[in-house]
A and B are shown apart, each in its own frame.
Chain A
Amino acid sequence: MQPNVTLAPPPPPVPAEPCAGRRGTPRQRVWAACQPLAWIGPAIVLIFSVVLVPVVLMFRTAFHDIDAVGFDRGFVGWANFEALLREPSLAAVVTRTAVWVVVVVTATMVCSLLLAQLFNQRFPGRRVARWALIAPWAASVFMTAVVFRWMLDPRSGLINIFLHDIGVLPELGTAQADWLGRPSAALWWMIGVAVFVSIPFTTYAILAGLQAIPADVYEAAVLDGASPWRTYRSITLPLLRPALLVAVLINIMNVFNSFPIIWAMTAGGPGDQTATTTIFMYQLKSSSIAESAALSVVNFGIVIVLVVLFLKAAGGRSQVQS
């Protein structure tokens, strides 16, 4: 039996041999300090080269004047950020991004809570249903988005033909049928696709949370005569908190940074009227890579702020580990 398992070094050497102890201990200490490096070294190198170096380069680009063919004309201070702020559509893009993130994440969470509850019940075909849910997750997001774009084709799209057949759409090939050509309609279709591809991960995260709730808590609730709704509110939801926080956090970051859906379906068009900040960043790249980098820096800041706010709201503890 080992009552006390710690990583602390063994007790100090015998006092009768002070010299030998002093010679050995520092080397051992250095060795002990270096030892973890062997294990975390590759990870540090990886993080440094694929995360930190690009971040540094991004900041550097944002403060440089880069011309149309990619030549660096040196440091220009905040000029790229000033140019960014002068973009007439910036306010609309930022507002749209907020709507996009809030609506997609909320809708995803609500749908996933319901689905996870369903999948936590025993019913015939549950295994098949659970597998089926993986499909939108397993398929490439870009591919899913392209498929939806073709299904929404104004003349021959599957969805449009269906809407025409059931009488919702009076005529094919009209402006009304061109959902993705009208910014207001396009945004809602893309929100739909974003929810569709976000649901599997979220549902599985919540399902895992549900399965981790001990059965005896529910037994106690039954003995106390709690109603199913009361049980859900007072037991399931609070105990799901860690899973929900992880799901919301990851979804916010994913949806905020989401590129393929909008790019494949409208490329942010017409103009930049369906662009989020991520898409707008890419659109800016065609005219000014430095201004685009300035927006990347802003986006990067927003994500960091979101994460910090969220962790604060989650009670200061890092819930991501659970």
Chain B
Amino acid sequence: MKRRLGAALAAAAASALLITACGSADEGSDGSIVLKLVGADYGTGPEDSTAKYWQGIADAFHAQNPSITVEVSTINWTDYDTKVKTQLQNKDYPDILQGVFYPQYATNGLVAPLSEVMSNPRAGTAVFNEAFSVNGVQYAAPFTTSARAMFYNKKAFADVGLTQPPATWAELETAARALKAKGYIGYALPLGPEEAQAESTLWMLGNGGGWQTDGQYTIDSPQNVQTFGFLKNLVSAGLTQPNPATYDRTANASADFAAGKVGMALSGPFLTATIASAGKLGKSDFATAPIPGRTAPVQQTLGVADAVQAFKTTDAAKGEAIKKFLDFALADEHQLAFAEQYALLPGTQSALDSLKDDPVLGTFAQLLPQTVQFPSDEKWTATVLPAVKKNIGLAVIEDPARVLGDLQAKATAGR
């Protein structure tokens, strides 16, 4: 009996040891440096995974700098937030993180100022400088960007006898009525969680509204309530697709537009890629126009940027390696290759300038320098944005003033 107990205890101890025995390997002792790069995946499957894009850059970089190896991993956008948060919570910091810039990275002292990790920290499109700064210090560079415009289906417009894209809300409503009569979805309104914030911003801009006024949240301002009241009327008149609050940008709106079912939609350059791969609409079957506003088209549209940032390191050699790699990776050729592959705009000004006359991206490249950005304070990323994604779609189904008021209350609550 005694022996058996001993054996049991030994087995328990052994298994406990096994559980804790999973150590981790660190960088080599021979002076070689391993950089960990974590990025978002912009692809739709294994063939066009962004991991391939990064691996190409990493291999080219390694060929030039044999002592530095860049380990690449990408995370699907759907899981991006959760996985990155988990990594950070476990203190498993990447060296370079591409995707979302949270001001909390800077206030928690995790990321290094851009001036320390790039030879030319001003290379990025200047319009995003403020959004990527905390207390006047810029921590991230724009990696890929987009500007938004209205897409309209020229085929459908011709079908219902329209020649001009609408410039005002009233014209948009009239056009949507005509399109609906012919069986089209007049206007695609994706207020589902995926990117409700972009769709909302574009409509708010059309009425002189926005998320903030002079740095204070004014989500339930009279202009915004009026804006969502107008959208609610569109929805209840059946001029949009049903149930906007569950209708997402990529899976629904882009797919429906590319399938030729939609008359008008607000979107970015990436929609051209969806249209091309669906093969239903030819290059001349659709066109872009300025975002319609209540009384006149929107002068400054929405610009969106995804960031690239470097985590602080105490190892000087590693810091040098990070700088070398970022300079290499953000060179024009790589930026333009990315832009072309995913139909997005580049993050650096020089790459953007070279696209001014591009047949597909040119319009958007010209819009980008004068765009408006999302708020970038800690409150926005931590509390407001998740609440907006989840709930703002309800503002076109229920009482707009109440839904926007609830969001405003979240935005101005104590913590």
What residues of chain A have their CB less than 8 Å away from a CB belonging to chain B?
A: 34-35, 38, 41-42, 45, 65, 67-71, 79, 83, 86, 88, 154, 174-175, 178, 180-182, 266-267, 269-273, 283, 286-288
A39 to B, closest residue via Cβ: B8
Residues of A within 8 Å of B110, CB to CB, are: 69
B387 part of interface (Cβ distance < 8 Å): yes
Which of B9, B381, B394 is A271 in contact with, Cβ under 8 Å?
A: B394
Select one of A34, A35, A181, A272 contacting B390, CB under 8 A.
A272
Q: Report Cα–Cα, A283/B391, bound state, in Å.
A: 11
Taking CB atoms, residues of chain B closer than 8 Å to A83 are 413, 415
The answer on a CB contact under 8 Å between B108 and A35 is no
Whether the Cβ atoms of B242 and A271 lie closer than 8 Å is: no
| B378 adjacent to A68 (CB under 8 Å) | yes
CB distance from A46 to the nearest CB of B (A): 11
Question: Quick one: which of A34, A154, A271 contacts B391, CB cutoff 8 A?
Answer: A271
Cα distance, A266 to B193, chains bound together (Å):
11
Q: In the complex, what residue of chain B is closest to A41 when comparing beta carbons?
A: B12
Q: How many residues of B contact A (CB 8 A)?
A: 40
Q: Is A38 in contact with B4, judged by CB distance below 8 angstroms?
A: yes
B residues 369-388 with Cβ under 8 Å of A? 378, 381-383, 386-387
Contacts A181-B246, A182-B243, A271-B393: A69 and B105 contacting too (C-beta < 8 A)?
yes
Would you call B382 and A270 a contact (CB within 8 A)?
Answer: no
Confirm or deny: B85 has a beta carbon within 8 angstroms of a beta carbon on chain A: yes
Establish whether residues A270 and B393, one from each chain, have CB atoms under 8 Å apart when the complex forms. Answer: yes
Q: Give the residues from 8 to 22 in chain B that come closer than 8 angstroms, CB to CB, to chain A.
A: 8-9, 12
- Hey, which chain B residues are within 8 Å of A270, CB to CB? 243, 245-246, 393-394, 397
Give chain B residues whose Cβ lies under 8 Å from the Cβ of A65. Answer: 415
- Asked if B25 CB lies within 8 Å of chain A CBs, one says no
CB-contacts of B239-260 with A (<8 A): 242-243, 245-247
Q: Is B316 an interface residue (CB 8 A)?
A: no
- Asked if residues A269 and B193 are in contact (CB atoms below 8 Å), the reply is yes
CA distance A35 to B387 in the complex (A): 55
Q: Can you identify 24 A-B contacts, CB atoms within 8 angstroms?
A: A35-B1, A35-B5, A38-B9, A41-B8, A65-B415, A67-B104, A67-B378, A69-B104, A70-B88, A86-B413, A88-B409, A181-B246, A182-B243, A269-B246, A269-B393, A270-B243, A270-B393, A270-B397, A271-B245, A287-B382, A287-B383, A287-B386, A287-B387, A288-B383
Chain B positions within 8 Å of A175 at CB level? 238, 242-243
A269 touches B242 (CB 8 A): no
- B104 and A68 contacting across the interface, CB-CB below 8 Å: yes
- Quick check: B108 and A71 within 8 Å, CB to CB? yes
Q: Say if the beta carbon of B406 comes within 8 Å of chain A.
A: yes
Residues A69 and B245 in contact, CB atoms below 8 Å apart: no
A38 and B13 CA atoms in complex are apart in Å by 12
Q: Which of B238, B245, B390 has the most CB of A within 10 A?
A: B390
> What's the Cα separation between A154 and B256 when bound, in Å?
13
List, in ascending order, chain B residues with CB within 8 A of A267's CB.
193
Tell me, in angstroms, the Cα distance from A132 to B281 when the chains sit together: 47
Q: Is B94 among interface residues, defined by CB-CB distance under 8 A? A: no
Q: Are A269 and B104 in contact (CB under 8 A)?
A: no
- A-side contacts of B397, CB under 8 Å: 270
Q: Nearest chain A CB to B14's CB is how many angstroms away? A: 12
Cβ distance A30 to chain B, nearest Cβ, rounded Å: 12
Task: Collect the chain B residues with CB atoms within 8 Å of residue A288's CB.
Answer: 382-383
B415 to nearest A CB, angstroms? 7
B321-360 residues with Cβ-Cβ distance < 8 A to A are none
Interface string of B400-415 (1 = CB under 8 A from A): 0000001001000101
Does B113 count as interface, using CB distance less than 8 angstroms? no
CB distance from A48 to the nearest CB of B (A): 12
| Contact indicator A269/B245 (Cβ below 8 Å) | yes
Q: Are A68 and B242 in contact (CB under 8 A)?
A: no
B192 within 8 A of A: yes
Instruction: Report if A272-B391 is in contact (Cβ < 8 Å); known contacts: A45-B12, A83-B413.
Output: yes
Interchain CB contact under 8 A, B12 and A269: no
Within 8 A of A (CB), among B193-250: 193, 238, 242-243, 245-247
For residue B88, which residues in chain A have a CB less than 8 angstroms away from its CB? 69-70
Closest A residue by C-beta to B261: A173
* B89 close to chain A: CB less than 8 A: yes
- Which 10 residue pairs spanning A and B have beta carbons closest together? A181-B243, A270-B245, A175-B242, A68-B382, A70-B89, A287-B386, A286-B386, A69-B104, A271-B394, A271-B391
Q: Are B394 and A273 in contact (CB under 8 A)?
A: yes
B102 at the binding interface (Cβ < 8 Å): yes
Q: Which residue of A lies closest to B90 (CB)?
A: A70
Complex Cα spacing A42 to B16, Å: 11
| Cβ-defined contact, A71 with B104, below 8 A | yes
Closest chain-B Cβ to A92's Cβ sits at a distance in Å of 12
Cα A301 to Cα B89 with chains together (Å): 27
Instruction: Evaluate whether A88 and B394 lie within 8 angstroms (CB atoms) in the complex, with A42-B12, A154-B242 already known.
Output: no
Q: Is B48 an interface residue (CB 8 A)?
A: no
Question: Of B104, B389, B406, which is within 8 A of A88 by CB?
Answer: B406
Q: Does B320 contact A (CB under 8 A)?
A: no
CB distance from A293 to the nearest CB of B (A): 13
- CB of B242 within 8 A of CB of A286, answer no
A181 pairs with B242, CB closer than 8 A: yes
* Chain B residue contacts of A180, Cβ below 8 A: 246
